[in-house]
Structure 1
Amino acid sequence: MTLDSALVPTVNSTQDSSDPAIQTRNFSIRKGRQTVIGALSLDIPVGALFVVSGRFASGKTALLLALAGRLRGFSGTATVFGHSLRSGGGQVRHVSALAETPIVNRLDDDLTVERQIAAALVLRQPWWKPLVTHKAVALCLVRVNALLREVDARAGDLLGKRAAGLPRLIGTDRIVCLQPLDRAVLGVVVALIGRPRLLIVDDVDTLRDTDDRTRAWAALLTLRIAGWHDLTIAASGQDPKELFEILERIDDVQPAPARPVCLLDLDSAERTLTALTRKA
């Protein structure tokens, strides 16, 4: 499957492919006198699904925003695709993107799907090219839906169903009228237009329906885009039990290879990284 060039990232050839996507040493986040995250040392491989779990207010969002270069007030060292979080925050922001995060980058309820996609495309164009054509938006939407169908089929294998039920985005639908899973998918789609190497999906638990959460985890686990083999995903949830259920069954099905999964449980006293899969 091929995607529009607007969705295919350029590869940073200066980084060794064996280097981790995310690496931290004694990384801490403080808010005033309070330590939000304390002394983490992580090595997240390229192409992994990095899952941060923990109770409400455990620091999940703060950690993900910091690793995406959107939060200050940290100590220790961290690199994202070889870029230092301390001295190269601009480069980190360039290679990372946030799916919809209500506090930081909420989708515009007054827009339609196609207008939201158009706005994302405009942001990635040179300043002297402030408009996009209807054809470019329509082509992007067609190819995005092709990607969703492919992910749907793979996630369906994992869920033991013919199809997992991922939505098909319709350009004229208003964002305020979208169902929660539709909206979550659009948030990811808009983020992918920015050609990131690190995709941040904060709080999958905002999807209240169990089936929706299961489908979302299955999609993140199996998401593959032609020519885009180094996309790393960092996601969070209070208790990603639906993901654990999928991983228990993963050897019994034959979808496209699943991402390696790394879990950081912020409720654990050790706060060490656990590899849940060894698949590439």
Structure 2
Amino acid sequence: MSGVGVIARGLGLRGPRGWAFRDVTFDAEPGSLIAIEGPSGSGRTCLLLALTGRMKPTAGEAVLGEYGLPRQMASVRRVCGLAHVAGVTELEPALTVAEHLHERALLQRRFGDSLRALLRPRGEHAAEEKLRIDTALSAAGLDRAALPKGARTAVRDLERLEALRLSIALALLGRPRLLGVDDTDLKLSDAERDEVWALLRSVAESGTTVVAVCSEAPEDAVVVTTENTTGRERADALAETGRA
């Protein structure tokens, strides 16, 4: 599935204590690697959630492919996947990697696939689930065999980079046209950050547009900065707008 182009013009979101972000303007082609750069508390996550249809902008507009924000938030949500967003896509520490993958694949089959897909025989469902999981894990660079207990490894036993890869794999199960990733470089070593950016470049090169929140963007990304947009803590905006 091809990625979506992203166009933003004067995009902003105001919370009870001021602007979470404002005057965000940029253009990105389908399959771009877009980096939302700025310090913690500058509205980066709010912007990510707004661009993926999870929070309603209060100023400006954006277009993702054929869908416009804020009017078509539901349509935007259907073509976007989210990974590693605190309070939104958090992994359950007690569940295993296999349990997370199976649960997400089941939810995707029930709520994300077409009616024709739902009517397939059970054997076809199992084969499709295996293919979808294997494809997502490969794209996210997560090798189940290399984990301490394989697919039976609990999330609480994963290294930070492994957990990030799992979260990305779960988002990719829905075959999104845009993948949004929060806190891409949080508490990672320089070598691990390089690994993550290589992974996200690979996803973008495969055709999926990627929007990644970070403290420092790579040179080859479309950089969107929130540092000078009078950002506030994410909680301020969430308190007023809620999550769509």
Q: How high is the TM-score relative to the length of structure 2?
A: 0.78
Which of 5, 26, 41 in structure 2 is aligned with 1:57?
Answer: 41
Q: Which amino acid aligns with 1:208?
A: L
Q: Which amino acid aligns with 1:119?
A: E
Structure 2: runs of 5 or more not aligned? 145-149, 230-244
1:211 aligns with 2:191: yes
User: Who is 1:121 aligned against?
Assistant: 105
- Note the C-alpha offset of 1:220: 0.9
User: Who is 1:104 aligned against?
Assistant: 88
Q: Structure 1's 262 and 122: CA in aligned 2 closer, same or farther, altered over 3 A?
A: same
Secondary structure of the equivalent of 2:110? coil
Q: Which amino acid aligns with 1:176?
A: R
Write the distance in 2 (CA, Å) between the matches of 1:143 and 1:26. 37
1:32 aligns with 2:32: no
Write the distance in 2 (CA, Å) between the matches of 1:167 and 1:122. 20
Secondary structure of the equivalent of 1:182? helix
Per-residue CA distance 1:127-174 (angstroms, 9 max, x = gap): 696x996655544444445445xxxxxxxxxxxxxxxxx541332111
Write the distance in 1 (CA, Å) between the matches of 2:58 and 2:110. 33
- Note the C-alpha offset of 1:51: 0.5
Runs (4 or more) in structure 1 with deviation over 3 Å come to: 126-129, 131-148
Q: Which amino acid aligns with 1:66?
A: A
Q: Structure 1's 125 and 82: CA in aligned 2 closer, same or farther, altered over 3 A?
A: same
- Note the C-alpha offset of 1:75: 1.3
Q: Which amino acid aligns with 1:235?
A: A
User: Who is 2:143 aligned against?
Assistant: 168
Which of 63, 74, 79 in structure 1 is aligned with 2:58?
Answer: 74
- Note the C-alpha offset of 1:119: 1.1
- Note the C-alpha offset of 1:81: 1.4
Write the distance in 2 (CA, Å) between the matches of 1:182 and 1:208. 11
The answer to whether the Cα contact below 8 Å between 2:136 and 2:172 also exists between their aligned partners in 1 is no
Write the distance in 2 (CA, Å) between the matches of 1:146 and 1:125. 20
Question: Over aligned residues, Cα RMSD in angstroms?
Answer: 2.7
User: Who is 1:202 aligned against?
Assistant: 182
User: Who is 2:31 aligned against?
Assistant: 47
- Note the C-alpha offset of 1:235: 0.4
Secondary structure of the equivalent of 1:87? coil
1:238 aligns with 2:215: yes
Write the distance in 2 (CA, Å) between the matches of 1:141 and 1:47. 22
Write the distance in 2 (CA, Å) between the matches of 1:234 and 1:224. 9
Q: How high is the TM-score relative to the length of structure 1?
A: 0.69
